[in-house]
Amino acid sequence: MDTWLAPTGNTTRDTPQVADNLGQRMAALIAPLVNGEGFISTALPGVQIVASQCGHPRTPLIYEPSLIVIAQGRKTGYLEDRVIHYGAGNYLIQALPLPFECETLVSPDQPLLGVSIGIDRLVLDELVRPMQARRMTPPARSPLPMAAVPMNASMGDAVLRLLECLHDPLCCEALGPGRVREVLFEALRGPQGDSLWQLLQEAGKYSRIAEALAYLHRHYAEPISVERLADEVNMSPSHFHHHFKRTTQLAPMQYLKRLRLLKARLLLGQRLHNVNRTAAAVGYQSPSQFSRDYKRYFGNSPAAERAG
């Protein structure tokens, strides 16, 4: 029986010189695509440039499932008791949308530059089928839904080809989806590929928790209970609660509260509603409870957030 498919090329951690050179090549391709701050859309759906001129202190946020490759600058993620460092020479696998805290570190002459590639489960399923046909299986271990992975040569080459494609609209249209598939393929057979593989195992607990998270993101403004979530993924409430917390590091209602607060922060930043309407829009019945939870989580009041 074949084993889990190992990456081609350099499978060990690259030397600092090699990692620096790869980061410089990626940064040179990313810099001309920067036209703002934060996550910047490209001509290729699901692919965004990540850029920041300034450092940012530790702050709560949430990413959609994605791979984030940093070419220049560094980030530190804090997921409950885990600390995750990623910068040039690494990529972050965010297999599930988990609330965490993130710090951005840059220098005056080297702003943060990176690229985010969305994780499409339909594409993963297509990529995994040939591996299953070859009777290849991932390592038998509990997957990490968020982890930094050392960049190897084959992944680096795949990301460079994707970045080159972003400079050519015709290439994006004709070859772009294939370049994204190549990057996801390299991630699938990388050291944390099991976190992506497990998303596709319909009978597995990990994929059921992923389904529950997707449900929460669609219905966060509605009244939701643990029993309702457990029923959605065909698990008993006690087993669901146990596996949800084991996977996300949060109890289901803790996750829901953080998700609502993060959604509220986006709305307040857009200044579309006042504080009371924002609270209602994300599922809070009590504006005063919303304000208390918001200040406890973010360190400032929703009114101050809206005022800018």
Residues forming a β-bridge with 146: 94
267-287 tens-digit pLDDT: 999 988 899 999 999 999 999
Q: Which residues contact 270 (CB under 8 A, 6 or more apart)?
A: none
- Residues 6+ positions from 138 with CB-CB distance below 8 Å: 4, 193, 194, 197, 198
pLDDT score at 4? 38
- pLDDT tens-digit readout, 92-114: 999 999 999 999 999 988 999 99
Average pLDDT over all residues of the chain: 91
pTM of the model: 0.88
Domains in the chain (CATH in brackets) are 16-199 (2.60.120.280), 201-307 (1.10.10.60)
Per-residue model confidence (pLDDT) at position 92: 97
How confident is the model at residue 291, as a pLDDT?
A: 97
Give the mean model confidence (pLDDT) for residues 183-198.
Answer: 92
- Nearest-CA neighbor of 95 among 139, 145, 47, 143? 145
Looking at residue 2, its pLDDT comes to 37
